[in-house]
Structure 1
Amino acid sequence: MSRPLDAIDRKILKELLADGRLSMSELAGRVGLSTSPCWQRVRRLEEDGTIQSYAAILDQSRLGLTETVIIEVTLERHDDEVLERFGAAMAALPEVLEAYLTTGEYDYFIKVAVSGTAGYEEFLRKKLYKIPGVRHSRSCFALKCLKRSLSVVPEG
């Protein structure tokens, strides 16, 4: 069982969320610790799963994926096989940025990056609609990203 996060843990997480490439000495200075105790805390946060991973955030438009599309999907059935097959298919598609099993009118909420309307149409025809069990989808193009965060910013 992991211990509750204290104010210093939260400061560490906030700083790493803002810049995951900070050196340990830079991070320690920003949170008011010496390097060794800071390193021990970061290590503990990694080991207990609070810090799951570190990543580079890419500019999808520089990769030719100029549009973000939000797709809501309804499946024909909701048995374990259909749900697992659809979930595995979403995880395997490189265009899929996020996929959530949801409550409500639609079964899944999917965020994809595509190269314009032609790329979107190709994604639908050649990928999404080829997955067995898809009954219906509804989509909307994102006009502008107002906020993007990979995690909640810890208070404190």
Structure 2
Amino acid sequence: MTEKSALDYRIDNLDKSILIALMDNARAPYAELAKRFAVSPGTIHVRVEKMKQAGIIEGTRVQVNPKKLGYDVCCFIGIILKSARDYPSALAKLEQLEEVVEAYYTTGHYNIFIKVMTRSIDELQQVLVHRLQPIDEIQSTETLISLQQPIDKDVTP
């Protein structure tokens, strides 16, 4: 598939069905999917490969439960940078913090919005005081502690 055709790839109903099935169970055998969708395993393979080449499927990964690993505190931190030009260096420093599991460059009040996971409130305080706030590019932060995550889903193809 050429670069242009990869960008132009449009998914159809079969592709959507395959994506939904793989999002539910990324280890589902192609033969099982083929039987479910009344096509050949080769068709499933070709469709998956085309969606990979088009960048629709970026890979597979194991989803872990942070609470089962002892990460009981989830919070979101809005970061205001001293200057917009500080973004690349601030992001590089944030990426080095193992507690930062997601980061977003945003519009609005905050320049960067991050998700942080820690094992305790005490650990969160240590991260804030000794690792996050000392970053030179950061002017100020606001921390929001998550009490629960009632919705957790992927986009629908």
TM-score of the superposed pair, with normalisation by structure 1: 0.90
Letter matched to residue 146 of structure 2: A
Identity %: 26
Residue aligned with 1:36, SS: helix
Secondary structure of 1:53 counterpart: coil
Tell me, in whole angstroms, the C-alpha distance in 2 between the residues paired with 1:89 and 1:26.
Answer: 45
Q: Which moved more, 1:125-134 or 1:41-50?
A: 125-134
- Asked if residue 62 in structure 1 is aligned to residue 65 in structure 2, the reply is no
Decide whether the 8 Å contact of 2:133 with 2:140 is kept in 1. Answer: no
Q: Does the 8 Å contact 2:73/2:146 carry over to 1?
A: yes
Corresponding residue of 2:156: 153
Q: How many residue pairs align between the two structures?
A: 151
Aligned counterpart in structure 2 of residue 108 of structure 1, from 112, 135, 138:
112
State whether structure 2 residue 17 is matched by structure 1 residue 11.
Answer: yes
Give 2:58's aligned residue.
52
- Structure 2: unaligned runs, 5 residues or longer: none
Aligned-partner SS, 2:90: helix
Pick one of 1, 22, 30 that aligns with 1:24. 30
1:90-110 superposed Cα distances (whole Å, 9 cap, x missing partner): 333221221101011111111
Higher relative contact order by CA 8 Å / sep ≥ 6: 1 or 2?
1
- Alignment partner of 1:77 out of 83, 98, 101: 83
Contact residue 68 and residue 111 of structure 1 kept, 8 A: yes
SS of match in other structure, 1:127: helix
Q: Secondary structure, in 3 states, of the residue corresponding to 1:111?
A: strand
Give the partner amino acid of 2:156: V
Runs of 4+ residues over 6 Å off in structure 1: none
* AA at the equivalent of 1:140: L
Residue 62 of structure 1: CA displacement? Answer: 1.5
Equivalent-residue separation in structure 2 for 1:14 and 1:27 (angstroms): 11
**What is the identity, as a one-letter code, of the residue corresponding to 1:57?**
Q
1:95 correspondence with 2:99: yes
Note the C-alpha offset of 1:126.
2.5
- Corresponding letter in the other structure for 1:97: V
